[in-house]
Chains A and B, each alone.
Chain A
Amino acid sequence: MKFSCFPVGFVRLSLSLYLCWSLAAEAQLAIEITGAGANRIPVAIANFAGEAQGGPTLTDVVRRDLERSGLFSLVNAGDAALSETAAVDYDGWKLLGADALAAGSLRRNTDGRMEARFRLYDIGLQGNLGGAAYLAASPQLRAAGHRVADYIYEKLTGEKGVFSTRIAYVHKTGGRYELRIADSDGQNAQTALVSREPIISPAWSPDGARIAYVSFENKKPIIFVHSLTTGARQVIANFKGSNSAPAWSPDGRRLAIVLTRDGNSQIYTIGANGGAPARLTSSAGIDTEPQFSADGAQVYFTSDRGGSPQIYRVAATGGVAERVTFEGSYNVSPRPSPDGRNMAFITRQDGRFQLAIMDLQSRQVQILSDFGRDESPSFAPNGRMIVLATEVNGRGVLSAVSTDGAIRQRLSVPVGDVREPAWGPFPR
């Protein structure tokens, strides 16, 4: 039921689908594809042998993941099941237009858990590209499906898939704020924190176990670190004034944070369990939005020290800051890419707030998104997509765009505003 209600490809939600979807789980994020890559790889995912028909299936999860990525087009594999041990009719699949085929099986082990086995074939080369097997309790079959999709994605594109990752975001309805964690396909959304006061700036720990964020529950911004599985929360920074903008170092040992205990917003670092903060930047104006580079050597940040908000970077050990953006009068929210080559940020042009990406070598800037109210970008851990918050028809929605601008998705909920997305790390 729930799966049949999920929007697929370019098909928009019809009213009836919308209703049953909202009944099934109004908390889920609906992901709608609004743009796809120009050269998509045609791939066939045969029904896995042993799957119960009529209900949601693991192969559905695999297909939707691959299709949603915008890099694949699905070749209709028909209704027949095909196990990983069956012979492959390469000529037949070639006639159907498939470049690759996945076949597999699902069976119940003696301990009651399900085992998904599959193999991937190159139709043109008539060869076996490899395979894997995943064991999961029945309710976790979707997670196994994401693993299968990640495997296929990596074999066919050469980069790691992000289907098994999670996305954190803040859902606001009326005066109620919820920090939610959803799977990368928007499903399985769970609430980590609910509050009547704002929650902003969620940041995943590198191991994906904790999230740092700013909560206003004590009438002022305070930084917490929250363990997702236990719900245990620790106040990391509650100094005089405002405490905000937490960003983890890549080794997970420290956070860069913003404190105003000495007047204006300035950047400090602090241990992941709190302790005494060490000042990193020193200016007469605003310094905020710190973000570590992927190698941990640099901290990018926003500062108005030059008269308008611009992006700077400084060695993580301190020193003289170097200005990174020069065009325009408002460049904020720097996000260095996972490979260290690019930096996503928000720029204001003619009153419109847009997502831009800069090649840090050539300093070339490209506008990736132009809803007019783009905020809070966050890279997928493989660097392919950037999720951001924006506004469509007066409501807060999330949008994801590939770094080449070709692939576009919209993530929304039926009621309320979605904002402050943070894409989680690869699973360990």
Chain B
Amino acid sequence: MGKMISWIFMTLALASCTTTGPETDAAPVEDRSGVARVDADSVQRGNLPDILTKGALSRRSVYFALDRYDIEEGYRDLVAAHARFLVENRDFRVLIQGNTDERGSREYNLSLGQKRAEAVRQTLLLLGVQETQVEAVSLGEEKPRAEGHNETAWAENRRADILYSGEF
């Protein structure tokens, strides 16, 4: 067993050419197998004022229909409320994260999520928010809030979220 384990796990060493084979020189088998490991985890969170975590401004999600990226009537007040807050509080910044359901190309969905986030950003800008206060990015299909594989889950995931500084 020990021999087998060593076969499996021993670090692979560099090989090179020293002797000749039947027809040709012995070809060195290059060591391409060393792979270093990196840990990317780094998450910090700040504290937000109550006004952003309780009441109307605690609602942060705008939902979209399949393949659509226009803001429906039912979400215009929500976006307008955040616009008012941001106009009155120029020190605050928001990140708009666009999301899609899981179906289709990951990269295309990343672009579709960007269009949804961009639709929210454009509305905020129209309502007086400054460019420097808002950034639109996409999470595509990568961070589903609902993990299911059905229409209910897909509808929940076609969404743009408004995150304030300290939340991203």
Which chain A residues have a beta carbon within 8 Å of chain B's beta carbons? 1-2, 24-25, 55-56, 84, 109, 111, 113, 115, 117-119, 130-140, 143-144, 147, 166, 181, 183, 188, 190-198, 200-201, 208, 215-217, 219-221, 226, 228-231, 233, 240-242, 244-245, 258, 260, 263-265, 286, 288-289, 302, 309, 330, 332-333, 346, 348, 353, 373, 375-376, 394, 420, 427-428
Contacts and interface: CB of A to CB of B under 8 A. Distances in A.
B15 A194 contact: no
B142 A216 contact: yes
B152 interface: no
Contact of B26 (A133, A221, A230): A133
A316 to B, nearest CB: 19
A16 B53 CA distance: 53
Given A24-B8, A190-B33, A217-B40, A133 B19 contact: yes
B136 interface: yes
Contacts of A346: 105
B27 A147 contact: yes
Interface of B: 1, 3-4, 6-8, 10-43, 95, 97, 103-108, 110-112, 114-115, 118, 135-140, 142-143, 149, 168
A139 B8 CA distance: 7
Contacts of B43: 196
A87 B11 CA distance: 37
15 contacts: A24-B8, A56-B7, A115-B21, A132-B24, A132-B27, A134-B15, A139-B7, A192-B37, A208-B32, A230-B36, A242-B114, A258-B110, A258-B111, A260-B114, A265-B110
A140 B13 contact: yes
A215 to B, nearest CB: 6
Contacts of B14: 137
A133 B27 contact: yes
A284 to B, nearest CB: 11
Contacts of B16: 135
A55 B40 contact: no
Contacts of A353: 103-104
Contact of B107 (A1, A117, A200): A200
Contacts of B115: 264, 286
A1 B4 contact: yes
Contacts of A136: 15, 28-29
B19 A109 contact: yes
Given A134-B26, A242-B138, A375-B106, A288 B38 contact: no
B38 to A, nearest CB: 5
A260 B7 contact: no
